Structure 1
Amino acid sequence: MFVTHIVSAITDCHADPGELSAAQAHRAMQIHLYCSVELCRVRRRARQTLVEARRMVLDERAEP
């Protein structure tokens, strides 16, 4: 049941999924591949999680 909750929490672009593990963040990035971080809260949270876990390095142009 827990897995179903996480999957449903990362499908809605407008809902903040909350804290994600690196694996969940990676899956969220795959699901929201064509979303922009400016419009999609899930992709934004997933990117933040992966950057903080040092699993992703942002290009200088992508940093705020």
Structure 2
Amino acid sequence: MQLTSLNMHIARLSQCRRDPGLMSVEQAHAAMQLHLDCTVDSCKVRRRARAILVEEGRCVLDERALP
């Protein structure tokens, strides 16, 4: 089976321990939904997605989540 670019991106987003790299806002939102049960401390996909959404002003962190 040949992997399309969409399938490759989905595969990249499915692995918690692997940084997915750059994502669009839409991809970051999808990643947050896909990794809903993960924490940003343990999941590189959710961490990257949250950073993108915060950077783009789509997500505002509670002060408890700030370092």
So what's the TM-score if we normalise by structure 1?
Answer: 0.97
State the aligned residue count: 64
In structure 2, runs of 5+ residues without a counterpart are none
Q: Aligned equivalents of 1:4 and 1:54: distance in 2?
A: 28
Where does the alignment leave 5 or more consecutive residues of structure 1 unmatched?
none
Runs ≥4 residues deviating over 3 A: none
TM norm structure 2: 0.93
**What is the alpha-carbon distance in structure 1 between the residues aligned to residue 8 and residue 61 of structure 2?**
29
Identical-residue share of aligned pairs (%): 52
Residue number in structure 2 paired with 1:21: 24
Say what the alpha-carbon RMSD is for the aligned residues: 0.5
